[in-house]
Amino acid sequence: MEELKCIGCGVLIQTEHKDKPGFTPKSSLEKKDNDIFCKRCFRLKHYNDVQDVGLSNDDFLKILNEVSKEDALIVKVIDLADLTGSILTGINRLIGDNDLLIVGNKRDLLPKPINDNKIINWMKQSLKEYGMKPVDYVLVSANKGIGVEELLNTIETHRRNRNVYVVGSTNVGKSTLINAIIKRFTEEEKDYITTSYFPGTTLGIIEIPLTDEHNIIDTPGIINKHQYAHYLDQKSLTHITPKNEIKPKVYQLNNEQTLFFDGLARFDFEDGPRSSFVCYFANQVNIHRTKLEKADQLFENHLGKMLTPPTTEEYKRLGGYRRQHFKTPSYKCDLVISGYGWITIDQPNIKIAIHAPKNVGVFIRRSLI
- Cα–Cα dist 306/311, whole Å: 10
Selection from 70, 101, 214, 90 nearest residue 166 by Cα: 101
Assign 39 a pLDDT band (cuts: 50, 70, 90): confident
The tens digit of pLDDT for each residue in 70-99 reads 899 999 999 999 988 888 777 777 788 899
The amino acid at 362? V
Selection from 210, 136, 216, 133 nearest residue 174 by Cα: 216
Query: Is the bond preceding residue 309 a cis peptide, omega within 30 degrees?
Result: yes
* Sheet (strand 275-281) strand order: 249-253, 275-281, 341-345, 333-337, 362-366
| CB contact set of 186 (below 8 Å; sequence gap of 6+) | none
The class (CATH top level) of 57-224 is: alpha beta
- Cα–Cα dist 41/6, whole Å: 8
Domain ranges in the chain with CATH number 3.40.50.300: 57-224
| CB contact set of 278 (below 8 Å; sequence gap of 6+) | 248, 249, 250, 251, 343, 344, 369
- Cα–Cα dist 75/33, whole Å: 32
Please determine, for residue 67, whether its predicted confidence score (pLDDT) is greater than 60. yes
The tens digit of pLDDT for each residue in 104-161 reads 999 999 998 899 999 999 999 988 888 888 999 999 999 898 999 999 999 999 999 9
Mean pLDDT calculated for residue range 2-29:
75
Tell me if 351 sits within 8 A of 271, measured CB to CB. yes
Query: Where is pLDDT greater, at 33 or 93?
Result: 93
Tell me if 98 sits within 8 A of 72, measured CB to CB. yes
